[in-house]
Amino acid sequence: MMGKRVLVVDDDVKTVELVKLYLNRDGYRVLTAYEGNEALRLARESHPDLIVLDLMLPGIDGLEICRVLRAESDVPIIMLTARATDDDRLAGLDTGADDYVTKPFSPRELAARVRAVLRRLPGERGPEKIEHGALTVNFLKHEAYLDGRSLNLTPIEFKVLGALVKEPGRVFSRAQIIEKALGFDFDGFDRTIDVHILKLRRKLEPDPRHPRFIKTVYGAGYKLLEDNGVS
């Protein structure tokens, strides 16, 4: 992990310098930007391994930068913002952010989250592609197919499915899905996993009312059925 490049984007100079200090201590090479257009240019030209991205920026805001970059690459993005509502968090994650940190924050915690997100990268840990019966999940391309048909998953749906397909048969609690797939945790959010599972089933299951792939384990959570839903 040493020597990886991290782009830190925030319009507050002190915040940027503090984050840079802690990431430098961990051995990262840190690039900095203070407004949206410069951030987008640096991301495209320098190809960082990860981006710490403030939501509120002069020029192009963080959500739009995230949306544009996610259409062009799979660079991990940690959203950094003073907004703390569930709707704001979901907006960032559905746009393609890999994690969400609210201000004020601990720079030590942010550095730990950078390490955690980078560990989840293909090549750092885990397979590039998994085939599970008729289901194929390609982690490099961020694509999932059923019988060769694209499922057209949102970024957050893909991450939830990716966590389940890596360990078929294992029961994940909502909190474990959040930790393993989404990389963040906060009180009151875990029930929204039910919503994303419901949306996944609508795209994945021939009959969502009688799922063959993702099973609800009452009182425990969810699991991807082994043997393509036969178990």
Query: pLDDT of 43-55, one tens digit each?
Result: 999 999 999 999 8
- Does some domain include residue 168? yes
Same domain, 135 and 180: yes
Same domain, 110 and 91: yes
Mean pLDDT of 8-18: 94
Q: What is the CATH number of the domain that holds 151?
A: 1.10.10.10
Same domain, 98 and 155: no
Burial label, 58 (beta-carbon count in 10 A; 0-12, 13-18, 19+): exposed
- Give the tens place of pLDDT for each residue, 107-116: 888 988 898 8
Q: Which of 99, 119, 139 corresponds to the end of one domain?
A: 119
- How far apart, in whole angstroms, are the C-alpha atoms of residue 50 and residue 66? 12
Q: Which domain holds residue 224?
A: 129-229
- Does some domain include residue 216? yes
Same domain, 142 and 108: no
Q: What is the CATH number of the domain that holds 89?
A: 3.40.50.2300
Q: Which of 119, 143, 169 corresponds to the end of one domain?
A: 119
- Does some domain include residue 137? yes
- Does some domain include residue 146? yes
- Give the tens place of pLDDT for each residue, 55-80: 889 989 998 999 899 888 888 999 88
- How far apart, in whole angstroms, are the C-alpha atoms of residue 185 and residue 101? 10
- Does some domain include residue 17? yes
**Structural domain count, the chain:** 2
Same domain, 113 and 18: yes
- Does some domain include residue 62? yes
Same domain, 76 and 115: yes
- Does some domain include residue 25? yes
Same domain, 80 and 134: no
- Does some domain include residue 52? yes
**Per-residue pLDDT at 228 exceeds 50:** yes
Three-state SS sequence of the chain: CCCCEEEEECCCHHHHHHHHHHHHHCCCEEEEECCHHHHHHHHHHHCCCEEEEECCCCCCCHHHHHHHHHHHCCCCEEEEECCCCHHHHHHHHHHCCCEEEECCCCHHHHHHHHHHHHHCCCCCCCCCEEEECCEEEECCCCEEEECCEECCCCHHHHHHHHHHHHCCCCCECHHHHHHHHHCCCCCCCCCHHHHHHHHHHHHHCCCCCCCCCEEEECCCEEEECHHHHCC
- Give the tens place of pLDDT for each residue, 119-178: 776 555 456 788 988 999 998 788 899 999 999 998 888 889 988 998 888 999 888 887
Same domain, 135 and 95: no
Phi, psi of 146 (to 5 degrees): -125, 115
